[in-house]
Structure formats: C-alpha cells, structure tokens
Amino acid sequence: MRVFVHHSYYGPSCDQTCPGFDESEYQGERYVIECSDHGICKQNGTDLRCQCYSYATGDDCSNACPGSYFDDVDKEVVECSNQGKCSLDGTEAQCECLPGYHGEDCNAECPGTEFNDDGTAIECSGHGTCVPSPDSSPGMESFVCQCTDGYSGEACEGSCPGIVEVDGVQMGCNGHGACEDNKCVCYKGYYGEECDKSCPGLLQGEDGSLKECNGHGTCDSDTLTCTCSDSRYHGDDCTLCCLPSS
C-alpha cells in the first residue's frame, strides 16, 4: 500500500494532530490531511495550531469559500474557482464573484456571456438577465437567461420584429405580442408579423380587455375591415349609430 501523507503527525510518540485532522483510504491509497486541508499546521512546543489559507477561517480552517484550494502543483492559492474573491466575515466564508460568474463557487455562467478587454461582462447576448435556473440544486447550481421582451433563445440570441422602446424599456412585436421562436404571437386585436396592425375602432376597456370595431362588429384579420354587428351601426369602425333618414 502506498502512503500519501499531506502533512505529518506530531509529538514524541507521533500521536498528536492539528485541528481539522482526517485520515482516510481511497482505492488502496491512504490520505492524511490536517486543518481541513485548507491551511498549514504550525507547531510551537506542544501547541499545534492551524494557519489558514486566505480563503478559510476557524480553528480548523473548516469554514472555507467554495471552489477554493491550495494548488500543490503550482504552489498557489485558488480562490472561488479563480473567478471571484473570498470574503471572510467572522466564521462565515463566501465568494464574491467577478462580473459574468455566478454560483456559490463562481463557476457558473449564463449562455451568451462575453467578456470585454476591461473585464466587464455581457450576459445573455446583451438582451437578457442571468437568473438561477429553477432546476438548480445545492452544489449543482445552474443559471439561465431571462430574455428582454422581443428576444428569445437560450442565450437571447434571437429576436422578433417590431423592436421598440417605450419609457426606456425595450420590447418586441411593437409591444402588442409575445416573442416565441423569433416570431410574434399577437395579442387579441393586433395582427401582422410585427403585431402593428389592427382594425379600426380598437378600444381598451377599464379592465384591460380589447374591443374591436368599437365593440359593435367583428374584425376580418385578412382585410383588417370591420363587419358591423347590425344595421344600427355603420362606418369603417362601426361607430355611427342608426342609418341616416332618407
């Protein structure tokens, strides 16, 4: 059996250990760690104490930022997957991710993420917001794009026609439809590829409902003309009541 000892035992009888000590065996190989593998054991006479790496805290260095470790090959500390900074507050350790990175260990990105030379990040192709996925679970975090109205796709890379900006908010389909698979699905009362067409006499009620032809007729979506409900109403928008006397 090969023996891998990351650190050592202490004392005259080699029976003393530093806090955060653990001994285990994996695939026939024996592993011994101390200070929870997040620090170095310092001996002062019979006193054994842990000197934690920059990303850990506590007597046994067990409170450590996720995605953080000491790289034995390059002999350097890796904090938060090298994509964030570890923040230590008392006994708490958590990652503060750089722009464009997410998750407890800063190892997750959203689709359509690009980085500028100055380190700023553009997420979701610049047309959405990066949000936690509903399928995320502790330790298995994932993030998805919540697209701005008018854009669609996993990375918000697709767009619908009729992009407009109203009160500083960008939306597609002229604000009169939903964007699905780069096509507009128009709300009731609106027609056309960009949902920019309607029949005359389109009214919006106090409850937000829409009425076409002033509520006195039906709209032909092909010709965008009104057919009035009865002879009491006439005109292009079915707004005039009663036929004029002859």
Q: What is the pLDDT of residues 28-39, one digit of tens each?
A: 777 888 999 999
Burial call 220-241: b when 16+ CB within 10 Å, e when fewer: eeeeeebebeeeebbbebbbee
Burial class (CB within 10 angstroms; exposed 0-12, middle 13-18, buried 19+) of 202: middle
Residue 246's pLDDT is 52
Average pLDDT over residues 116-126: 92
Tell whether the model's pLDDT for residue 5 goes beyond 60: no
Note the pLDDT tens digit of each residue in 52-104. 999 999 999 999 999 999 998 899 999 999 999 999 987 789 999 999 999 99
Q: Look up tokens 């707004």; give the residue.
A: 239
Residue 110's pLDDT is 95
Tell whether the model's pLDDT for residue 124 goes beyond 60: yes
* Residue 214 φ/ψ, nearest 5 degrees: 60, 20
Among 95-104, 203-212, 214-223, the range scoring the smallest mean pLDDT is 203-212
- Cα-based distances in Å from 98 to 68, 95, 117, 149: 15, 9, 14, 27
3 pLDDT band, cuts 50/70/90, is very low
- In percent, how much of the chain has pLDDT > 90? 56
4 pLDDT band, cuts 50/70/90, is very low
Average pLDDT, the chain: 88
2 pLDDT band, cuts 50/70/90, is very low
Average pLDDT over residues 212-217: 94
End-to-end CA distance of the chain: 113
Determine the Cα–Cα distance for residues 170 and 172; give it in Å rounded to an integer.
Answer: 7
Residue 66's pLDDT is 94
* Residue 126 φ/ψ, nearest 5 degrees: 80, 10
- Closest listed residue to residue 58, CA positions, set 42, 76, 38, 78: 38
Residue 71's pLDDT is 92
Q: Which one is predicted more confidently, 56 or 231? A: 56
